[in-house]
Amino acid sequence: MILAAALFCIGLFGVLSRKNAIAILLGIELMLNAVNINLVAFWRYLDPSRMAGQVFAIIVFATAAAEVAVGLALIISVYRRRSTILADEIDLMKW
């Protein structure tokens, strides 16, 4: 569990401190993996005969895959329009 917490915090640091939008997505992936580790560990240690833990982890998988696909498509589309993927320079919607 501490491993999962450490992984989550590393991902969080990556998300908050990187300029490149793809690098931010990489950090998000690390966080999702940390959550999955926790889920599977809980499933195994508490009640391996019920399937709820593994099913939850599989749903998290599917969600992560979906979100990565859409996120990368968005980034590529933004890149085509604005020729930049540094999060600081994508500021049309700011004040």
Partner 1 sequence: MTPDQIIFLISAVLILVSALMVVITHNLVHAALWLVAALFGVAVLFAILNASFLAVVQVVVYIGAIAVLFVFAVMLTRKELRDRGTQTRANWWIPALLGVLILAGLAYLILGQPDVSRTAPAIPAGVDTLRALGTALVSPDGYALPFEAASVLLLAALVGAVYVAVGRRS
Task: Report whether 21 contacts 14 (CB < 8 A).
Answer: no
Return d(Cα 68, Cα 33) in angstroms, integer: 13
28, 88, 90, 93: which one binds partner 1 (CB under 8 A): 88
Cβ at position 92, least distance to partner 1 in Å: 16
CB neighbour list of residue 69: distance below 8 Å, 6 or more residues apart: none
Which is closer to partner 1, CB of 54 or CB of 95? 54
Tell me the backbone φ, ψ of residue 90, rounded to 5 degrees. Answer: -95, 80
For position 28 contacting partner 1 by CB under 8 A, the verdict is no
What SS3 state is found at 86?
Answer: strand
Tell me which residues touch partner 1 (CB under 8 A): 1-3, 5-20, 22-23, 25-27, 29-30, 33, 36-37, 40-41, 43-45, 48-49, 51-52, 54-55, 57-59, 61-70, 72-77, 79-80, 83-86, 88
